[in-house]
A and B are shown apart, each in its own frame.
Chain A
Amino acid sequence: MNKVVALTGNEAAAEAMRQINPDVVAAYPITPQTELMHKFSDFVADAVVKTEMILVESEHSAMSACIGACAAGARVMTATSANGLAFMWEVVYIAASLRLPIVMTVVNRALSGPINIHCDHSDTMGCRDSGWIQLYGENPQEAYDNIIQAIRIAEHPDVRLPVMPTFDGFIISHTLERLEILSDEEVGKFIGAWKPVHPLLDIAHPVTYGPLDLQDYYFEHKKGQAEAMKRAKGVVLAVGKEYGALSGREYGFFEEYKTRDAEQIILCLGSASGTVKSVVDGLREKGRRTGVLKLRMFRPFPAEEILSAIGHAKSIAVLDRAEGFSGLGGPLFPEVRSALYGRSDAKVINYVYGLGGRDLSPEMILSVFDDLEEGRITDREAVHLGVRI
């Protein structure tokens, strides 16, 4: 039974965590994730959750403690942003390679330097190859929904990989919006009890985690991880469908907004898609066949499904909220173009936007659709939207 509430993105995420009621949470403060953990600390202080909270001395230790706790047999969560995620980078990889179903919310923020506390995706894009499943949310509703589904996806026996639900710093984390939440009982039933696999605390069955893995086995273990990531696709869909039946909000790899007959399509992640949708609505009224594909799941990358969804377009703009410093633009672009390569006639171009929290205005999006329709962008270099140089 959905209940309508007004919460910021951070509050919605904290509410999801309260309902999940994890055994252990380890966290370290970083803006804009801080409020999420303030709220959750209130739940711990009031004993409305059973969680043992570890207030560590760094993000590196936050993820290290999550790894220890999860291997020990606990259901474990944390949250971070930007430099915090960068600081834990080493152990982010280790969590995935140990196949520990940790759920870590990342409130997207620009990576230093220069230091900046506002939104872009340079933090989560930085660990795109870490072996974590990544789910990007558009608004507080999706922040809430993704976190609950993340538990099910991570712990699924075919997957057993950590999941990173994300949403945009300040734009979503600090914005109060209307959303619908499930009852505690519904969430509890949906996620079910966590049955740890080979927990360290099972003294009668001692296991060794994290051994030295050399030329003779490392490769096989990495392949196993890659296979699990592929299997995650089916699980993400199944969990999204089941969640839809429960909440009325079904989730897949992406949201197709007016794309079916669209000639010009924008593909983007996170909060920007809301703005793009409203521009598409305006253009549709004028008879322009535009649409937006809001990618929810960046890891694993749903290449085939993206091809099916937007391969028919005449032109596609990929909006990256991170600079890849490759000379080719952002990190999302090459993956989308690879998905379409040789199998679609669509012209695919790249825009980098919104770095360090720079606003993405409807006028900018309009200019992108104009570029697409008029074929103005002919070279392969990314366009940086709204930058003064």
Chain B
Amino acid sequence: MAINLKELSKKSIPLSAGHRACAGCGSIISIKLVLMAAEDPIVCTCATGCMEVVTTIFPFTAWKVPFIHNAFENAAATMSGIESAYVSLKRQGKISGNIKFIAFGGDGGTYDIGLQSLSGAMERGHDMLYVCYDNEAYMNTGIQRSGSTPRCAATSTSPVGRASQGKKQYPKDLTKIMLAHNIPYVAQASPHRWLDLMTKVRKALSIEGPKFINIISSCHRGWRVPVDNALDVCRVAVETCYWPLYEVENGVWKLNYTPKEKLPIVEWFKDQKRFAHLLKPENAALLSAIQAEVDRRWNELLQSCGGTKTS
């Protein structure tokens, strides 16, 4: 069913106010949008990380839906257990009604330490949606580099120094790794395009089987942007084609947004102090190498989406 503001205005928010996310946190916006898109009752889990910490400081919880946090690397495995319990108990007639299952993890808990658990759960075909709120570093533990951190981003473990220009490697393409599992639905989204994000969540939840959505989610502490910039910095990531919005449903690729004018990557970098060193003239070569990689990935995506209509 289509999502509209009238419907949303009547919906109770499954995450209460008073949680302890930073002002200007992109991740908590992403999570709230995901939760509000669900129509059926949901059970959630979240890997250890910012979102788990800020929503569940005992004796308080911000979750108005059933929630479990287990550990860092096992949100997907934990959800496989919950979903299997549901399948078993439902088959035995011990419970009734439809329940949907959503697992959350940051990029650390998803790209890195939780990748095996996620891969296993997707391969086994559990009926669940896994959502990665990707803020591109281990923000909860103090902004260390992850497998998602962009090349040259300064983090506390890939700082800029006399012999370092930040992270040395490009990030892995997790969305495509998930695609390689041949699951029915994979998408990338951004909270600044809330309707696109929520439509993807609703679509994902309507499909049986394992689904994965990767959501870029800014962190002003780690990205070093102004507190009021949470959504705009995500918008520029999309406008520069660093973070394309697309979905793959049953093997059919669809680009959900094409910038009117593809901005150079420096436009995304210039607002974020983690990339400040890249603006120096002596790093021009690095900047153009990164631009070339962004272009390469974008063109590859365009090819994959070839023949499909953009929307």
Contact = CB atoms under 8 A, between A and B. Distances in A.
A214 B70 CA distance: 16
A61 interface: yes
Top 10 A-B residue pairs of the complex, sorted by shortest distance between their CB atoms: A68-B81, A57-B120, A65-B81, A69-B81, A61-B77, A72-B85, A64-B74, A211-B56, A74-B85, A64-B77
Nearest to A203: B41
Contacts of A202: 66
Given A51-B88, A52-B85, A60-B77, A72 B43 contact: yes
A57 B119 contact: yes
Given A61-B116, A217-B59, 13 more contacts: A23-B89, A56-B80, A57-B123, A61-B77, A64-B81, A67-B81, A74-B81, A201-B89, A203-B43, A203-B65, A208-B63, A210-B69, A214-B57
A172 B137 CA distance: 49
A212 B70 contact: no
A67 B68 CA distance: 10
B82 A69 contact: yes
A69 B87 CA distance: 10
Contacts of A54: 80-81, 84, 124
Nearest to B73: A60
A212 B58 contact: yes
A55 B82 contact: no
A363 interface: no
Interface in A210-263: 210-214, 217
A64 B126 CA distance: 15
Contacts of B92: 23, 50
A72 B82 contact: yes
Contacts of B240: none
B89 A74 contact: yes
B57 A212 contact: yes
Interface in B35-90: 41, 43, 45, 52-53, 56-61, 63-71, 73-74, 77-82, 84-89
Given A52-B85, A68-B77, A208 B123 contact: no
A364 interface: no
B74 A200 contact: no
Interface residues of A, number: 42
A52 B70 contact: no
A213 B87 CA distance: 31
Contacts of B162: none
Contacts of A64: 70-71, 74, 77-78, 81, 117
B9 to A, nearest CB: 22
B88 A206 contact: no
A242 to B, nearest CB: 26
A24 B65 CA distance: 23
A354 interface: no
A212 B124 CA distance: 30
Contacts of B59: 211, 217
B117 A57 contact: yes
Contacts of B99: 201, 203
Contacts of B78: 64-65, 67-68
A58 B89 contact: no
Interface string A38-82: 000000000000111011111011001111111111101000000
Nearest to B95: A201
B70 A68 contact: yes
A211 B85 contact: no
Contacts of B58: 211-214, 217
A268 to B, nearest CB: 35
B91 A50 contact: yes
A68 B82 contact: yes
Contacts of A69: 81-82, 84-85
A68 B120 contact: no
A297 interface: no
A214 B123 CA distance: 36
B225 to A, nearest CB: 26
A270 B77 CA distance: 33
B161 interface: no
A18 B65 CA distance: 34
Contacts of B65: 203, 206
14 contacts: A24-B84, A58-B116, A60-B74, A69-B84, A74-B81, A91-B71, A94-B70, A203-B65, A206-B64, A207-B66, A209-B67, A211-B56, A211-B58, A211-B60
A371 B71 CA distance: 49
B96 to A, nearest CB: 11
Contacts of A74: 81, 84-85, 88-89
Nearest to A211: B56
A90 interface: yes
Question: Which of the listed residues B43, B61, B79, B121 has the most CB atoms from chain A within 10 Å of its own CB?
Answer: B43
Contact of A24 (B57, B85, B117): B85
Contacts of A110: none
A218 B300 CA distance: 50
B97 interface: yes
Interface in B110-127: 116-117, 119-121, 123-124
A209 B69 contact: yes
Contact of A71 (B53, B68, B84, B121): B68
A212 B77 contact: no
B19 to A, nearest CB: 12
Contact of B81 (A57, A66, A90): A66
Contact of B77 (A50, A56, A72): A56
Contact of A201 (B66, B117, B120): B66
Nearest to B61: A208
Interface string A9-26: 000000000000001101
Contacts of B79: 68
Nearest to B59: A217
Given A23-B85, A211-B58, A212-B53, A203 B68 contact: no
A91 B74 CA distance: 9
Nearest to A68: B81
Given A73-B89, A200-B82, A214-B57, A206 B77 contact: no
B70 A210 contact: yes
